[in-house]
A and B are shown apart, each in its own frame.
Chain A
């Protein structure tokens, strides 16, 4: 460590410059700005898919700020909560705007995050050396789901109440400890005032703190390894005379202006929804949530908010009959691994033993379909974390993968959207069958990825990024 040295500036230097020098001697302000944004060299070939990271950041700030002001008027009490939300809507000056910004922001957050993740899938942004970056991002996604779930109970409407009842009871499906675990989460025998109070605490302080920490980790990891790009080329491998990547440009001002433009477009769309369709036809704010919570009556049609429905469909697809299909699928998968993978004998045997235990567990006499529904529900979310290790493609970007990989991604996208749609609908025999097929396809996409992602003829990856000066 060098000794402290005060930066000497000419006496007639501007006051701002002197002030900054004084701070920089005591706190690495300029260094932080340059490392994290000002002189952070990003690939010059970003396309519109690269706007969603900064949009997510914007929405995070929006949610925190609007959330703080909502907290000033909201009452986390089972007798007062519903009324206090109506009070915010009708009597607090501009309260309706703050609340609609917050509720629309929640859906906007998920739209932006899903698109952000789609980008990663298209350009292989999770592949080495960005595995940890992906994991931080995945943890942020989990936090967002928790945040949305806890927040949804707060208006204390019918959908809030019964949605929380269903999700908390998911934990009840765990053998032996399940019922006690649900009781512990609720703090009462049914969803009640105690539940509302603790969910409020999680929503306004516990999860946001974790979320902010993870966002910081996500950004630090990103700026450490550098951004991926639509060509999936490591720009740091090709440095110019100045020591900066020849295909990189400083984020400021180049991407600052891009982001400001993206933010403007986003805010136009966002404001349109806030002012003209805050309920979004019952998708952003469900109609049943305008009825106060009633512990004696479940609404005729309950469904989670749209961003949870793909996973919720997986839960509903797991019926007793479907267990036999799953048992067959697991057996086939193990045979496939034994024949087609280069894993060691030990690993293969371990997989076979786990699979055998799962198949035994799936027998009707052992564990209920209900339990396995919860397992698949959890697995359908968690499996995304494994992407960096499931994708064995020699190239990152979809641009240089075989053309048919694009179709695989399209099918996956279609399956995901279909599951999402079915999750909003009442279950019928046909819908259940479709969701079962989609569930199998969903898991096949991930579990067979080690093979299909390495198959086909890959195109040569260029040395420099594809970029047309404009």
Chain B
């Protein structure tokens, strides 16, 4: 460093301090702007549990209710449908719901049916791949875009992931995980609450 330019250390110190303060204020302002992107209090408050009446559902019938803006399916499985889960056991990627169990499958649904009662499936109808809502393909047998030995389940129209009647994803599909089973419990035989279980609200 040449000493030709006389630097006033006092002024240089003030200059550095001013730049540092300005930088901190700039970063804090940027932080505030970035934070505005988070869900608002209103959006957070909208996640209240939903009660569903399942009285009078016939086997093979599916109802869709909205919970936190997402579709939640309630499917009443017929005995044949329940039996099909034994056959798909070998073809699904995660038959025992062992992947990310805390996020996807509450403890009471970590079974072959992925449900509290074998005949009722309660699942969030959002594909674990990129968030499309799969369409129901309950009829078994060969159909377009489905394997010839199809036993009934769901097909995601976006990227072709398939799920069995317990929302378990088949092997080698774009979707990595089974469909999410939301926290839920039976208030009575015919009333179901979604978004809340014995442990409290989700």
A residues adjacent to B (C-beta < 8 A): 162, 165-170, 172, 183-190, 192, 194, 198, 295-302, 315-316, 318-321, 368-370, 373, 426-428, 432
Report A-chain residues with C-beta under 8 Å of the C-beta of B134: 298
Cα–Cα distance between A316 and B129 once the two chains are bound (Å)? 11
**Residues on the A chain within 8 Å of B171, using CB:** 320
| Interface check B49, CB cutoff 8 A | no
A193's closest neighbor in chain B, by CB?
A: B43
Most buried by A among B40, B43, B134, B158: B158
In the complex, B112 has a CB within 8 A of chain A: no
Q: For residues 20 through 43 of chain B, which have their beta carbon under 8 Å from a beta carbon of chain A?
A: 37-40, 43
B37, B68, B172, B176: the one contacting A189 at CB < 8 Å is B68
Q: Which has the most chain A C-beta neighbours within 10 Å: B64, B129, B173?
A: B129
Once the chains are docked, how many angstroms separate the CA of A252 from the CA of B38? 52
Residues on B with C-beta less than 8 A from A302 are 132, 157-158
Interface string of B108-147 (1 = CB under 8 A from A): 0000000000000000010001111111000000001100
Give 8 A-B contacts (CB < 8 Å), ordered by A residue. A162-B132, A165-B131, A172-B131, A184-B38, A194-B40, A298-B135, A369-B176, A373-B174
Are B38 and A189 touching (Cβ within 8 A)? no
Complex Cα gap A249–B176 (Å): 59
Shortest Cβ distance from residue A321 to the other chain B in the assembled complex, whole angstroms: 5
In the A-B complex, the 4 residue pairs with the closest CB atoms? A190-B69, A427-B160, A298-B133, A368-B176
Closest-by-CB residue of B relative to A368 is B176
Say whether B87 faces chain A, with CB atoms less than 8 Å apart: no
Bound: A188/B44 CA distance, A: 8
Q: Chain A residues near B69 (CB, 8 Å)?
A: 188-190, 192, 295
Please measure, in the bound complex, the distance between the C-alpha atom of A190 and the C-alpha atom of B71, giving whole angstroms.
11
Say yes or no: A321 contacts B66, CB within 8 Å. Answer: no
A166 to B156, CA, bound (A): 12
- Tally of contacts, chain A with chain B, CB under 8 A: 104
Closest to A316 in B: B159
B40 touches A166 (CB 8 A): no
**How far, in whole Å, are A188 and B37 apart by their CA atoms in the complex?**
9
Distance, CA A19 to CA B176, complexed state (A) = 69
Which residues on the A side are within 8 Å of B71 (C-beta)? 295-297
Partner of A166, one of B47, B132, B135: B132
Chain B residues whose C-beta falls within 8 Å of the C-beta of A297 in the assembled complex: 64, 71, 133
The answer to whether the Cβ of B179 comes within 8 Å of any Cβ in the partner chain is no
Chain B residue nearest to A302 (CB atoms) is B158
B156 — which chain A residues lie within 8 A by C-beta? 298
Q: Is the CB of B158 within 8 A of A166?
A: yes
Contact B66 A319 (CB under 8 A): no
- Nearest-neighbour CB distance to chain B for A150, whole angstroms, equals 14
Q: A162-B158, A194-B39, A427-B160 are in contact. List 14 more A-B contacts (CB 8 A).
A: A162-B132, A184-B38, A190-B70, A192-B43, A194-B43, A295-B69, A296-B66, A296-B71, A297-B71, A297-B133, A316-B160, A318-B174, A370-B130, A427-B159
Q: When the two chains form the complex, which single residue of B68, B135, B172, B176 contacts A321, counting CB atoms closer than 8 Å?
A: B172
